[in-house]
Amino acid sequence: MAFSSEDARAKKATSNEEIVALLLEDMKGEHAAIIQYLQHAYKIGEAGGEIPSEIEGIARDEMRHFRWLGELVAELGGEPNMQRDPIFLDSPSTNDLLSLDVDAEQRAIDQYRDHIAAIDHPKVTLYLNRILMDELFHQGKFKDFVEEMGGNQAKEAASNDTGPWNKNPNPLSKDLELNSAGQVVAADLERKNRDDHPLVKMLNSRVQMEYETILIYLHQAFISRNPTQRDHLISDRAVWHMTHMGTLGEAVAELETRPEMELDFSSAFLSKVPVEPEEFNNWAIGREKSLLENTENLLEETGDIDEGLTNELKRLEGHNRFQVEQFKIEKNN
């Protein structure tokens, strides 16, 4: 039975089922916030000085919120899903982009206030109040960023689908791409649809692979009854893959193209993964191996032409080798 925030004013959510329904809504919002903020951080890039790394810090807070909510859902007997609220990625200027984040925090603040009023459960209320405190703080930070970037805090955010992505390619850029023979050459910046660059496509398919892996590991962590497995999956795996997704996402953004962070969020992609700990471990070894293979392909294809990217990929390769072995060792313990 669905329990919406409209019912909330009428009566308190006291059954686990009712509370879970509200927490699942909150999870969707946190998931959207994580991805929207990461995308904005990548897009703003160096032009924003310290702002992108501060935004990534806020995205990490949202990740902690997401984790708390997922664990609470599982604790109350619910099934955490990995769905996501809509995200807003385009705006005419950077300060408008940041106004979209002020708005996102406002939606979160309103929703948490509603849910805190609706839920009668001391532990859940304790956590939601803590999260609300963070969201209020985040909103203040985003308002400061808007002003730092020369915008007006009070202005309504303008969102549209004709943002700077793929528009006005910078003629001074030293962007690279793969030609049909698989060689890395200077990118044809006059070309209209740059999303189909082979290099961008390769990097983006990896971004999606990392994203999917993160969601699968987090989901397993939320439902796991083994606290060690839970902790390892989050702190040792999901967090590292998050770093990798960032590395690749930034590389895509540097090519003036949007990192591809869309997945089928229905349960389809979760249902292909076994949840029994040993079977999950085997599945994860396979996944880490294919990530390693993918890194090796990327290294081969991009060669030593873009030194910065190559160094990042070599680091990734080292991480991948470690992560395969790490799962294997755990399997034997």
Nearer to Fe ion, 256 or 327 (CB): 327
Residues 181-210 that bind Fe ion (CB under 5 A): 210
Q: Describe the crossing of helices 16-44 and 51-75 by its angle, rounded to 10 degrees.
A: 160
Judged by CB under 5 A, how many residues of this single chain contact Fe ion? 8
Residues 133-162 that bind Fe ion (CB under 5 A): 135, 138
Q: Is 26 in the site for Fe ion (CB under 5 A)?
A: no
Beta carbon of residue 59, minimum distance to Fe ion (angstroms, whole number)? 9
Q: Which residue is nearest to Fe ion (CB)?
A: 244
Stretch that binds Fe ion, among 28-36, 215-223, 264-272, 306-314 (CB under 5 A): 28-36
Nearer to Fe ion, 3 or 68 (CB): 68
Beta carbon of residue 193, minimum distance to Fe ion (angstroms, whole number)? 28
Q: Is 43 in the site for Fe ion (CB under 5 A)?
A: no
Return the structure tokens found at 74: 């599982």
d(CA 24, CA 8): 15
Nearer to Fe ion, 43 or 241 (CB): 241
- Residue 177: phi and psi, rounded to 5, are -150, 170
d(CA 1, CA 6): 14
Q: How many CA atoms lie within 13 A of 245 on its CB side?
A: 26
Beta carbon of residue 19, minimum distance to Fe ion (angstroms, whole number)? 18
Residue span 76-105 as binding mask against Fe ion, x where in contact by CB under 5 A, dash where not: ------------------------------
Beta carbon of residue 67, minimum distance to Fe ion (angstroms, whole number)? 11
User: DSSP per residue over 31-85, as a string?
Assistant: HHHHHHHHHHHHHHGGGGTTHHHHHHHHHHHHHHHHHHHHHHHHHTT--------
d(CA 196, CA 205): 12
Q: Is 241 in the site for Fe ion (CB under 5 A)?
A: yes
Residue span 108-137 as binding mask against Fe ion, x where in contact by CB under 5 A, dash where not: ---------------------------x--
Beta carbon of residue 57, minimum distance to Fe ion (angstroms, whole number)? 11
Residue of the chain from 43, 65, 141, 206 that contacts Fe ion (CB under 5 A): 65
Q: Is 62 in the site for Fe ion (CB under 5 A)?
A: yes
Q: Of 149, 158, 178, 161, nearest to 255 (Cα)?
A: 178
Contact 207, 259 (CB under 8 A): yes
d(CA 144, CA 148): 6
**Which residues, at least 6 apart from 176, have a Cβ–Cβ distance to it below 8 Å?**
184, 185, 186, 187, 199, 255, 302, 305, 306
Q: Where along the sequence are the contacts to Fe ion (CB under 5 A)?
A: 30, 62, 65, 135, 138, 210, 241, 244
